[in-house]
Amino acid sequence: MRTTFHLKTLAVAIATLSVASVTNAAGLDRSGQDVTAFFQDGTYAEAVYTYIDADVSGYDSSNVNPGQNDYERGDKTGDIAESYDFFRYGVKTDINDTFSIGLLYDEPFGAAAEYTQSNFVSQGDVDASIASITNGAAPSLAAAQGAIGALAAGETAGVLTPEQQAQLDGLRGAVAVAQAEAGNAGENTNVEVRSQSLTGILGMKFGANKNFQIYGGPVAQRIQSETKLRGLAYGPATGYTSNSNPDMDYGYIAGIAYSKPEIALKAALTYRSEIDHDIEISESYPLVAIRAIAAGATPEQAAAAANRDSTYEITTPKSVNFDFQTGINPTTLATAKVRWVPWSDFVITPPLYNDTSKISYGPDGLNLVEYDDDQWQVELGLAKRVAPALAISGTVGWDSGAGDPTTSLGPVDGYYSVGLGAKYNVTENWAVSAGGKYLWFGDAKGRLPSGKIVGDFQDNDGYIAGLKISYQGK
């Protein structure tokens, strides 16, 4: 006689608790954009809370000369990863034996990092900053200004050698960077990105036994961010600040699924589209004002040049998720998840930041954030029903990261993880799940958009804890 596996009692606590964040995964990935709530039987609803706490620390570079890219191990950065939490909700019901509808909410992308010490904090000591930038060649502002005055006379007369001109340009740059840093004395480098997503899904089953299902629907996504670059680590960009206002735009989801209830098998392949956001942004770039005044601009003209309100485009990446489960025996379930996100296509290019960088880096300028590689994420799990109302689970996972070196605002190159979870059926319809994961992060070097290495981050780790309340009815 054929054995039927009971999916409801095999359901696990942590199998749909995605493990992703800027401090422990690739790019800005957070929630993993899970859709498995839609594949539950009958009427189903869930509310999930996730808390992430990571320890990401390393060393800055003692080389703060913007014109020199060599990394020299400097001071400890302290823990730069801020704790982060988010919610996920889902509801789904069957209209009949063919059609199903669902609504999912999650917070797919985000970042939360802050440097509280080292070269990523503005110190405000102009003399010390100039000495650091020039490697002691100019020990103070007065010394730098004196050398600039002497060389400037030769520049006016057109008699400077290339080496002397480079020296003059370097001294002028050192003074400008030191003054820009001093204008934000005591402030920390900080980045925060928040997003929310609402997905509507309509599914249609087909086939002789309704084993196949196609599904799709619209996605509404909202995103906002704030960035502060501080300290000598950022060279000419020190003091740069941007605030991107919340923007709502739209994309879509589409997929195909297969199920075989006799062996508790479910498989689903889900595609999410890119979403283009036209975002209003306010930017401030102190170096622009300093350069403008040096060129003869009035304070009002300099302030106007250094502060800009404009609109730019961010395209959040497409993704593909594969979710799989199958029964091994009537009380044991195996699960697998695979996720791909092309972070190598993703860039953040604020207009003022980009325009200012063109002076030194050519007509295309620099992106504020970019990644070298695409993300691959894999998670394998086993769940065991140990009592009529209790199931436990374990998982192992791997995330490829999005390249090393990577942005200094998220210096982690993927992770390995292990997780444990439990689900308890309080009643026939209501259940509570809880679980946690421990993560070993991949080592990474923090890199500026210019290519300069400004930090080295090794031997970091973190954990994720989650709680889910779910309802399932016929």
* Tens-place pLDDT, residues 214-262: 999 999 999 999 999 999 999 999 999 999 999 999 999 999 999 998 8
- For residue 16, the model assigns a pLDDT of 37
pLDDT of residue 111: 87
**How many percent of the chain have pLDDT more than 90?**
70
The pLDDT value recorded for residue 438 is 94
pLDDT digits (tens, 9 = 90+) for 100-143: 999 999 999 988 899 999 999 998 899 999 999 988 888 999 99
pLDDT at 266 over 50: yes
pLDDT of residue 25: 59
Query: Could you report the per-residue pLDDT of 298-307, keeping only the tens digit for each?
Result: 999 999 999 9
Percent of the chain having pLDDT more than 70?
Answer: 95
pLDDT at 154: 84
Over residues 366-393, the pLDDT tens digits come to 999 999 999 999 999 999 999 989 999 9
The whole-angstrom separation of Cα 474 and Cα 16 is: 21
Which residue would you say has higher pLDDT here, 84 or 367? 367
Distance (Å, whole) CA 13 – CA 11: 7
Mean pLDDT of the chain: 90
Q: Please write down the HEC assignment for all residues of the chain.
A: CCCCCCHHHHCCCCCCCCCCCCCCCCCCECCCCCCHHHHCCCEEEEEEEEEEEEECCEEEECCCCCCCCCCCEEEECCCCECCEEEEEEEEEEECCCCEEEEEEEECCECEEEECCCHHHECCCCHHHHHHHHCCCCCCCHHHHHHHHHHHHHHHHHCCCCHHHHHHHHHHHHHHHHHHHHHCCCCCECEEEEEEEEEEEEEEEEECCCCCEEEEEEEEEEEEEEEEECCCHHHHHHCCCEEEEEEEEEEEEEEEEEEEEHHHCEEEEEEEECCEEEEEEEEEECHHHHHHHHHCCCCHHHHHHHHEEEEEEEEEECCEEEEEEEEEEECCEEEEEEEEEECHHHCEECCHHHHHHHHHHHCCCCCCCEECCCCEEEEEEEEEEEEECCEEEEEEEEEECCCCCCEECCCCCCCEEEEEEEEEEECCCCEEEEEEEEEEEECCEEEECCCCCEEEEECCCEEEEEEEEEEEEEC
Cβ neighbors of 286 (< 8 A, separation 6 or more) are: 179, 180, 183, 184, 238, 239, 240, 306
Q: Is the pLDDT of residue 19 over 80?
A: no
